[in-house]
């Protein structure tokens, strides 16, 4: 065992990690409460290397947010608007098709499409959206609609989750992104997103997607009102579902941005770099059945995302092109990273840059 780890208060957890033993809830709480960041990073790096060798993945993707009009208007979110509020928008199908068409010849392999819960938009709009995007960019994977949106479509159309998926998959849906999970704890959801579906419902939608053959992502929003125990509970629930289905591709922690949200002024500051790195590393250690941990540079900054490669992370998301949700909440990172920037960040960290598709097939390596 590494000397630093051997001499740390976490050496017993280090032994479990070396032996490949599953960590328990109490181990997770101890890790998250510890300030021995380097020891935690060392452990996470062992797991990262075991699972992914020296590869660090990235994807050439584009985000599209079709509407910010939302029935829920969660306190945590600065993006959602009432229909008549200044800045409220809904993209036409033609505009969305044109955005997908702009990606032609630019190597984009994944479109990430999410939006608000807009009561004016019926399931036919989303089916037509998927068909048009598929036509405009036939080879790209369409990763669209959070579990929260899927549940909304089911409720407003009086359909089961399975029926919604059947229709959307027939129109071109390939995969679900991980948004809307927030923190599963009811106590916290009541304070930050009281109208949003429960944690159990979020898990049920993803379980249904997995059983119908779709792979999906998972997230956790941290740095607001949640306790350490609630973070670990969230990770354990994701791990339990992954044990049952194996359908999650990756886990992405999302650091809370308070500006312009309903939680601004409640004495919640942006997360620190220390906390961001610890979260990523502890996620790597707790989620032993997830192949990948992804750093979302838009929320933590590209420099910290690069450092996180030594703290359990094996994937940096992505080229993005245009980002609205974090920037509405005071995010001050760029809108996009180029493939060249991504490759040089990864190389400088001593890793092999690997451009991947949604399913982590390597499309190009050895830049
Ligand atoms: O669902 C909303 C979160 C999510 C704020 O699956 C906020 O690969 C911080 O899910 N501060 C959208 N976070 C982003 C998302 C995502 C991003 C990148 C990759 C993937 C993936 C998914 O952002 C929302 C919500 O959970 N969010 N408001 C805020 N103020």
Ligand 1 mean position, distance from CA 93 (Å): 23
CA distance 328 to 364: 34
Within 8 A by CB and 6+ apart from 209, the residues are 150, 165, 176, 216, 247
- Confidence at residue 230, expressed as pLDDT on a 0 to 100 scale: 98
Residue 335 above 80 pLDDT? no
CATH code of the domain in which 341 resides: 3.20.20.70
pLDDT band at 318 (very low <50, low <70, confident <90, very high): confident
**pLDDT (mean) for 341-354:** 95
**pLDDT (mean) for 100-110:** 94
Residue 33 above 80 pLDDT? yes
Q: What residues make up the domain containing 175?
A: 3-365
- Confidence at residue 320, expressed as pLDDT on a 0 to 100 scale: 82
**pLDDT (mean) for 218-242:** 98
pLDDT band at 4 (very low <50, low <70, confident <90, very high): confident
Whether 41 contacts 281, CB under 8 Å: yes
Residue 111 above 80 pLDDT? yes
pLDDT band at 337 (very low <50, low <70, confident <90, very high): confident
CA distance 96 to 142: 13
Ligand 1: residue whose CA is nearest its atom 27: 77
> Which of 113-122, 190-199, 248-257, 325-334 has the weakest average pLDDT?
325-334
User: Of 73, 192, 221, 323, which is best to mutate to test ligand 1, by the most ligand atoms within 8 angstroms of its C-beta?
Assistant: 221
Q: Which CA distances in Å does 295 have to 206, 299, 314? A: 21, 9, 8
Ligand 1 mean position, distance from CA 254 (Å): 6
CA distance 245 to 242: 5
Count Cβ atoms below 10 Å from residue 349 Cβ, excluding itself: 18
Ligand 1 mean position, distance from CA 95 (Å): 23
Q: Which CA distances in Å does 34 have to 28, 58, 239, 275, 288? A: 10, 30, 22, 11, 20
Phi then psi dihedrals of residue 354, to 5 deg: -130, 115
pLDDT tens-digit map of 41-57: 999 999 999 999 999 99
CA distance 261 to 329: 6
What contacts 24+ positions apart, CB below 8 Å, involve 19-28? 20/50, 20/288, 22/288, 23/285, 23/286, 23/288, 25/232, 25/233, 25/236, 27/285, 28/232, 28/235, 28/236, 28/282, 28/285, 28/286
**Pocket flag, ligand 1, residue 306 (CB < 6 Å):** no
Average pLDDT of the chain, as a whole number = 96
Within 8 A by CB and 6+ apart from 262, the residues are 73, 74, 75, 76
Please, which residues bridge with residue 12 across strands? none
Residue 6 above 80 pLDDT? yes
Please tell me the total count of domains within the chain.
1
pLDDT tens-digit map of 123-176: 999 999 999 999 999 999 999 999 999 999 999 999 999 999 999 999 999 999
- Confidence at residue 137, expressed as pLDDT on a 0 to 100 scale: 96
**Pocket flag, ligand 1, residue 219 (CB < 6 Å):** yes
Ligand 1 mean position, distance from CA 221 (Å): 7
């Amino acid at each position: 065992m590494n000397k630093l780890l051997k001499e740390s208060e976490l050496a017993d957890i280090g032994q479990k990690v070396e032996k490949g033993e599953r960590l328990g809830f109490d181990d997770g709480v101890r890790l998250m409460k510890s300030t021995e960041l380097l020891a935690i990073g060392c452990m996470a790096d062992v797991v990262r290397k075991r699972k992914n060798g020296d590869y660090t993945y990235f994807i050439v993707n584009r985000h599209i947010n079709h509407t910010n009009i939302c029935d829920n208007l969660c306190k945590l979110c600065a993006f959602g608007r009432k229909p008549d509020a200044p800045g409220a928008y809904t993209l036409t199908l033609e505009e969305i098709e044109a955005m997908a068409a702009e990606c032609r010849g630019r190597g984009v392999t994944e479109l990430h499409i999410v939006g608000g819960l807009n009561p004016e938009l019926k399931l036919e709009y989303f089916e037509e959206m998927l068909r048009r995007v598929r036509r405009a960019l036939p080879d790209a994977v369409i990763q669209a609609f959070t579990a929260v949106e899927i549940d909304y479509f089911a409720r407003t159309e009086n359909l089961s989750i399975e029926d919604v998926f059947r229709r959307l998959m027939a129109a071109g849906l390939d995969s679900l992104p991980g948004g809307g999970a927030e923190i599963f704890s009811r106590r916290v959801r009541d304070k930050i997103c009281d109208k949003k579906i429960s944690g159990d419902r979020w898990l049920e939608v993803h379980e249904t997607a997995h059983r119908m053959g779709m792979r999906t992502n998972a997230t956790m929003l941290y740095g607001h009102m949640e306790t350490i125990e609630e973070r670990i509970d969230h990770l354990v629930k994701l791990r339990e579902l992954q044990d049952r289905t194996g359908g999650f591709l990756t886990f992405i922690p999302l650091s809370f941005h308070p500006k312009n949200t309903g939680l601004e002024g409640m004495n919640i500051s942006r997360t620190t770099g220390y906390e961001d790195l610890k979260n990523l590393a502890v996620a790597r250690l707790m989620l032993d059945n997830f192949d990948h941990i992804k750093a979302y540079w838009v929320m933590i900054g590209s420099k910290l995302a690069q450092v996180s490669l030594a703290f359990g992370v094996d994937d940096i998301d992505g080229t993005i092109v245009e980002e609205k949700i974090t920037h509405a909440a005071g995010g001050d990172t760029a809108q996009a990273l180029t493939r060249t920037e991504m490759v040089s960040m990864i190389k400088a960290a001593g890793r092999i840059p690997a451009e991947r598709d949604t399913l982590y097939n390597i499309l190009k390596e050895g830049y």
